[in-house]
Amino acid sequence: MPSPALEPLAHLGTTVQAFVGRPASHDAVLRRAARRFGRRQAVVAPAGTLTYAELHAAVDSAATAVRSVADEGATIAVAMGHDLPLFLLPYVASRAGVTVLPLNTSLSPSAWRDQLDRARPEVVVADPDHIEAARTAAFGTDVAVVEAARAWTLDGTAAPESFEEADPDQTLALIATSGTTGVPKMSRVTTGGLIHAAMAYVHLLGLDGTDRSFVCLPLHYIGPLSAQTTTMPLVGGVNVIPAETTPHRAARAMATANITYVDAVPAWLGLLARSGDTAIPTWRTLIYGGAPMPQETASTLARRFPDLRLWDVWGLSETHGPATALRYDPSAPPMPGTVGRPIPGVEVRTDGDPGELLVRGANVTPGYADDAEVTDHVIVDGWLRTGDIGTVGPDGTVRLLDRAKDVIMRGGANVFSVEVEQLLASHPDVAEAAVFGVPDGLHDEAVFATVVMRSGSELDVMALRALVDDGIGRHAVPRRVTAVDVLPRNATGKIDKAALRAEALEGRRALHDPAPPR
């Protein structure tokens, strides 16, 4: 399939492009795929394998079941595992005309309850593994809890004519952001935003009907929704949903399934790179993001899989996934933090040098479901305030320096935690590093570092502090460096600096205020 054509969007400036011939909705995407690729495999999952014609019929059945418990325009929550029924999420939402709140199954019922209180769905649809957690989360509310066998069934058929044409401006889903800048927000995911992001991937990566995508990230994340669930039906490729997504088993599963395309986070890829020497002969495209990619992981993957094209993609839930992309060149690795140029249809600028990165374009969310005031603060004149600090070069190349929340104020100087982390991780004995600020009452914040040492290596605090002193300056030298076996991570796989900061503060309190003798 040829790459989508582009045309200028005058109201966004001459540098912004839009895709010509973009399908109007996810329903239109699936109907076209069923006509063009009806007999081809569409999805391979633990619950079954469907062709595009069968996928079209399954969406009809599920959309009919949804409409039996919720009216058009309603919001429904979905608590389902990583399998075929959840894969249908955007297509069922589009055809049934509802907005879906996918509940992250790694979170507790209390976290679900917070999302239910803010999104106010009419019903929660849950599979057998999550029905009790859903009932706990909804207890004492007006939200009904319905078993998926009744409200998300793939059995039976329904005439396509029973559904009206889908709204191209529909809010398909509400995605809870990772909360790295505070309380998670409920970002509106639109059909137009997802389709534009997916077509950008097709254009950038050269995806076609021979591609087989390995869906290792949870299906309720924004990444798979744009990069895989929406992308493959555009070109007639296959989405493979594995029963087991642990890195040490993934390579063998990918080789068996003839995988060509993967979207993953650096932490998962680091474990995969060190898990063995299993060959994956068909693997040709990898995209990654969500956290800085360690140089060693990228170089190891490039060495193990010489035909693999590696792409670093920077974006947010609010950009429906991608905003910029950079192809990794093992012969000339990029400067740490460099994430490439904007994808088609997107502009990026800063409000200073360095400054907060601002994004606008066809795949930026229209706002948040739970707070109009937050929307007005975060999206100003069409520009999304990302909360990331960085620079934009003369050629448009974007470099990330830090999250705004993670910039450490040290005696009037800014310490960019990501910059310190990348320098510490360059030490041959350090596998991974997390840097964060802790209030010290003297110079605003003290710089703290927590590292994971490589196997057989011992922590040398003085050597690491000297490395930062020489590479950045005395103001960035960590006051304390500790080693752990594993860094804590949040539900999206990002390092949980709030947990590290809380642990450091507790340790300081214990040091200065020891428990009284018994």
Q: Which residue type occupies 162? A: S
Is residue 493 left, alpha or beta, with left meaning phi > 0 and alpha meaning psi from -120 to 50?
Answer: left
Mean pLDDT confidence for 483-487: 92
d(CA 302, CA 282): 14
**How sure is the predictor about 210, in pLDDT bands with cuts at 50, 70 and 90?**
very high
* Residue 158 or 191, more confident: 191
Amino acid at 142: D
Q: Which domain holds residue 195?
A: 24-398
pLDDT at 365 over 80: yes
177, pLDDT greater than 60: yes
- pLDDT beyond 60 at 158: no
Would you state the pLDDT for residue 513? 43
pLDDT(518) > 70? no
Tens digit of each residue's pLDDT (9 = 90 or more) over 310-358? 999 999 999 999 999 999 999 998 888 899 999 998 999 999 888 999 9
Question: Confidence band (pLDDT; 50, 70, 90) for 478?
Answer: very high
Prior bond of 354 cis (ω within 30°): yes
Residue 13 belongs to a domain: no
Query: Residue range 418-429: average pLDDT?
Result: 91
Q: Is residue 515 part of a domain?
A: no
pTM for the whole structure: 0.83
12 in any annotated domain: no
Are residue 336 and residue 416 in the same domain, yes or no? no
Interior/surface letters 461-499, b for 16+ CB within 10 angstroms, e for the rest: eeebbebbeeeeeebbbbeebebeeebeebbbbbbbbee
Same domain, 193 and 80: yes
Residue 16 lies in a domain: no
Total domains in the fold of the chain:
2
Specify whether 319 is located in the same domain as 437: no
Q: What angle do CA 404, 409, 414 make, to 5 degrees?
A: 75
Q: Kindly state whether residues 160 and 256 are assigned to the same domain.
A: yes
Q: Which residue has the tokens 């707070």?
A: 371
The pLDDT tens digits for 144-156 are 999 998 888 887 5
Same-domain check for residues 61 and 187: yes
Residues 95-131: pLDDT tens digits?
Answer: 999 999 999 998 889 889 989 998 999 999 999 999 9
Residue where a domain stops, chosen among 398, 419, 449: 398
**Contact by Cβ (8 Å): 329, 311:** no
Boundary of a domain, candidates 372, 398, 424: 398
Averaged pLDDT score across all residues of the chain: 87
Cα 451 to Cα 248, 342, 483, 497: the distances in Å are 23, 32, 5, 12
Distances (CA, A) of 463 to 135, 250, 416, 468, 478: 53, 36, 20, 9, 11
CATH number at residue 505: 3.30.300.30
Q: Are residues 336 and 477 in the same domain?
A: no
What pLDDT score does 440 carry? 75
Judge whether residue 14 has pLDDT over 50. Answer: no
Structural domain includes residue 517: no
List the structure tokens of 391: 């620079």
**CATH number of the CATH domain containing 350:** 3.40.50.12780
Q: Are residues 315 and 262 in the same domain?
A: yes
Whether 316 and 292 map to the same domain: the answer is yes
pLDDT at 20: 62
Mark whether 316 and 449 lie in a shared domain: no
Point out the least confidently predicted range of 103-107, 237-241, 488-492: 488-492
Do 264 and 287 lie in a common domain? yes
- Interval 36-48: pLDDT, tens: 999 999 999 999 9
Domain presence at residue 10: no
Residues 150 and 193 in one domain: yes
Indicate if the pLDDT at residue 17 is higher than 80. Answer: no
- Which of 355, 377, 398 delimits the end of a domain? 398
Q: How far apart are CA 212 and CA 337, in angstroms?
A: 30
Is 237 within the bounds of a domain? yes
More confident residue, 17 or 49: 49
Lowest mean pLDDT among 91-95, 251-255, 271-275: 271-275
- Asked whether residue 372 falls in the same domain as residue 446, the answer is no
Lowest mean pLDDT among 8-22, 404-418, 448-462, 494-508: 8-22
Is residue 5 one of the residues assigned to a domain? no
